[in-house]
C-alpha cells in the first residue's frame, strides 16, 4: 500500500500541495445503487412520488454535490470542474435505481471524490424523495468505476 498523501511526517492531516503537478485532463466515473421494492420503481416510473420528479431532482442534486465536494470533504481541493454528468436509471432487476456520475476537469488533481460525492448525494436524494413509500430501501455499492489522467494513470474497477 502506498503512503497516505494527506498525512504529514508528524501524523497530522493536511491538504496535499499540488502546485508542482502538471495540469492534465482527468476523468472519474462512479456508481451506486438504491435498492427498493418493485412497487417503488413503479411509483418513480409513473411520476407518482409525492415530492415530484425523483430522477430529475436526484440528477440535479448529484451535479450540485460534485461542484461542492470541497465544501463537504475537508481535504479536497476546490476544482474548476468542466463536466458533470449524472444518470439515474430505473432497473426492475435490482429492483431500484442505478446512479452513475462522470466528472471531468483539466487540473492538478483528480475528480474521484467529486464523482463519488455526486453518486452519494443523488442516491440520498432518491431515498429522501420516496422514503415515505419504502422504509426498507438501502443504498449500496457506491464505488469508483474508472479514473483517467494524472501521475497514477488509468484505473478501471473489476466488473
From residue 72, alpha-carbon distances to 52, 76, 92, 98, 133 in Å are: 26, 8, 32, 23, 29
Look-up: residue for cell 440528477?
Answer: 59
| Catalytic residue flag (residue 158) | no
* H/E run at residue 105: strand 96-107
* Catalytic residue chosen out of the listed positions 48, 53, 128, 158: 128
From residue 61, alpha-carbon distances to 86, 114, 128, 139 in Å are: 9, 12, 12, 16
Look-up: residue for cell 465536494?
Answer: 69
Catalytic residues: 128
Amino acid at each position: 500500500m502506498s503512503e497516505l498523501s494527506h498525512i504529514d511526517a508528524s501524523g497530522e492531516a493536511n491538504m496535499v500541495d499540488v502546485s508542482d503537478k502538471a495540469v492534465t485532463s482527468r476523468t472519474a466515473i462512479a456508481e451506486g445503487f438504491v435498492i427498493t421494492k418493485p412497487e417503488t420503481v413503479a411509483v418513480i416510473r409513473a411520476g407518482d412520488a409525492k415530492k415530484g420528479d425523483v430522477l430529475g431532482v436526484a440528477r440535479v442534486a448529484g451535479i450540485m454535490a460534485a461542484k461542492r465536494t470541497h465544501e463537504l470533504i475537508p481535504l479536497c481541493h476546490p476544482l474548476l470542474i468542466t463536466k458533470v454528468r449524472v444518470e439515474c436509471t430505473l432497473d426492475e432487476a435490482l429492483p431500484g435505481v442505478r446512479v452513475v456520475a462522470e466528472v471531468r476537469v483539466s487540473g492538478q488533481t483528480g475528480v474521484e471524490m467529486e464523482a463519488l460525492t455526486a453518486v452519494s448525494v443523488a442516491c440520498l436524494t432518491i431515498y429522501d424523495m420516496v422514503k415515505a413509500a419504502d422504509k426498507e430501501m438501502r443504498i449500496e455499492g457506491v464505488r469508483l468505476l474508472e479514473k483517467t489522467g494524472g501521475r497514477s494513470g488509468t484505473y478501471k474497477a473489476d466488473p
